[in-house]
């Protein structure tokens, strides 16, 4: 009887952990988010698939891979299309894309996606319901 309870306990721990990780990923996977901070263009987007991210940064589309473990996230292999825009818009876009390389953590505050950068600053997004 003790063996059976021990085995059930181990399975509960193993599969319970997997379930919580999947439910955390479900918050971002298959969704798009709009940047909601001041002094930025109104349509900066980020979206997530199982291992990839993508978005629109003002003029160009961008894409890459990410690794996530709990609330830690690392952006990898960032790429973007090569469209040109006004100098002002291109500057804002470059600043945003540079910040993506600095992301170290991901969390949610109510319905707001929060990406924390190495320097402690935050990028905040709301879910894009228009999708």
Domains of the chain in sequence order: 2-127 (2.40.128.270)
- Exposed e or buried b for every residue in 50-65, given b needs 16+ CB within 10 A? eeebebbbbbbebebe
Residue 28 has what pLDDT? 80
Q: What is the pTM of this model?
A: 0.76
CA atoms of 1 and 129, how far apart (whole Å):
51
Please check the confidence at residue 40 and state whether its pLDDT lies above 80.
no
Cβ of 69: how many Cβ atoms within 10 Å? 8
pLDDT tens digits along 75-126: 998 999 999 999 999 999 999 999 999 999 999 998 899 999 999 999 999 9
HEC string for the chain: CHHHHHHHHHHHHHHHHHHHHHHHHHCCECEEEEECCCCCCCCCEEEECCCEEEEECCCCEEEEEEEEECCEEEEEEEEECCCCCCHHHHHHHHHHHHHHCCEEEEEEECCEEEEEECCCCEEEEEECCCC
Cβ–Cβ < 8 Å for 47, 73: no
pLDDT tens digits along 98-107: 999 999 999 9
Residue 26 has what pLDDT? 55
């Amino acid at each position: 009887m003790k063996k059976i309870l021990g085995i059930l306990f181990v399975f509960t721990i193993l599969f319970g952990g997997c379930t919580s990780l999947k439910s955390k990923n479900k918050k971002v996977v298959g969704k798009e988010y709009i940047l909601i901070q001041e002094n930025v263009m109104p349509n900066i987007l980020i979206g997530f698939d199982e291992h990839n991210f993508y978005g629109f940064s003002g003029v160009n589309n961008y894409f890459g891979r990410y690794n996530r473990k709990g609330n830690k996230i690392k952006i990898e292999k960032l790429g973007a299309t090569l469209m040109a825009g006004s100098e002002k818009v291109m500057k804002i876009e470059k600043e945003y894309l540079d910040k993506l390389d600095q992301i170290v953590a991901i969390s949610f505050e109510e319905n707001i996606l929060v990406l924390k950068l190495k320097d402690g600053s935050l990028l905040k997004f709301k879910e894009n319901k228009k999708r």
